Structure 1
Amino acid sequence: MPPTALHRALTAPPPDGLALRPLPDRVAALLHTLNAPPRLAAHLRAVHDVAARLCDWAERVHPQLPFRRTAVLFGAATHDIGKTLHPAELSGPGSAHEEAGHALLLAHGVAPQLARFARTHASWTAPDTGVDDLLVSLADKIWKGKRVADLENLLVQRIAEAGGQQPWEAFLTLDDALDGLAANADHRLAFQSAYGTDVSACRTDGGA
């Protein structure tokens, strides 16, 4: 049997030599169970890879920064999973997927501390926002080359506090890292756009 479009979105090598890590097995299995749109799988894979690269950078350059790599990667891999229930938000604006995704993950046995990213990834100003949340939110922006100053400044503050640096020093290192990640944004966007938003595409090998 030929692979489905969803399977290809989860496993196929991207074009132009762009390397994207696979999603965690638990997340890939859940996307299959939910019959997720292939474009959602491609998007989650792209954001998850960027989150992994941000974690690599933070561990190397700012080892004092407290965050949980496993939580960040799971959050990035599932942040938009609510769009399985609100597929119109794959190609248009909307925030219904945030609460829906949180509830969906909880219903599938995901712990609250991991499910929360589905609800928090688009808002980073709450008092209880942590470094994990900021990294997931940042990955969800920089994967397509978008810079968000207030989000970045919050992470700069955390970096400076953790490492005893001046904020401008922390900003310079983060700015360099984000410039590097943004350089491949067009390739990631092309990868996502190669897959459709129709869940019926999950059942065929037709191009999206």
Structure 2
Amino acid sequence: MVGEIPPVLGYLTELTVLNLSGNELSGVIPPNFGNLTKLRELYLNDNVLTGDLPLEVGTLTRLTQLWLDSNRLEGEIPSELGNLDKLARLNLQSNELSGDIPNELGNLASLTNLNLSGNKLTGEIPLQLGNLSGLRILVLSGNELRGHIPIELGDLTNLRELNLHDNRLSGDIPLELGKLTNLARLFLGDNALTGCVPSNLKEASDIGPYCK
């Protein structure tokens, strides 16, 4: 499938699942997708979509899956995504998104998988992400994030993977990460971090040294 997404899809208000992934769709995401208030799953990944991520996506409060990865989306991540309190998986990786990570993503209480890697995101990692107690995968690698790793990430005790690789993070590695006893993969390399990795994460971590 090639060409732009037909705006007429925004009038199919009974839709619960829309999957257009793996095509060659171009152009923008139609703002009238905000009319699809019964939508539970939206897959537009692996296309060549451009433009901003419409604010109207934040009205789709029944969404559990939002996959927009591997496109050419630009602009900032709308803070309105913080309204999607049923969202379990949010994947925006491999786009050209810029600006800060919205603090409002910390409101996504149902989230288990958050992937924002491979963009142009700047600013600091919001400490509000520490509120996402059900999170199992957090991937923020391949951006331009600065500042310290928030100690609040140590509260994400269900995490299986934490990937902050290839950013501009600095400061000591928080000892609070040692509370992540379910962690199987920890990627902190290609930053400017100091200090040591909690010794109980030695098998998971891609860097040392390890705390004694």
Instruction: Decide: shared fold, TM above 0.5.
Output: no
- Which structure shows the bigger proportion of residues in helix conformation? 1
TM-score when scaled to structure 2?
0.28
Higher relative contact order (CA 8 A, sep 6+): 1
- Which structure shows the bigger proportion of residues in strand conformation? 2
When Rg is computed on C-alpha atoms for both structures, the one with the higher figure is: 2
TM-score when scaled to structure 1?
0.29
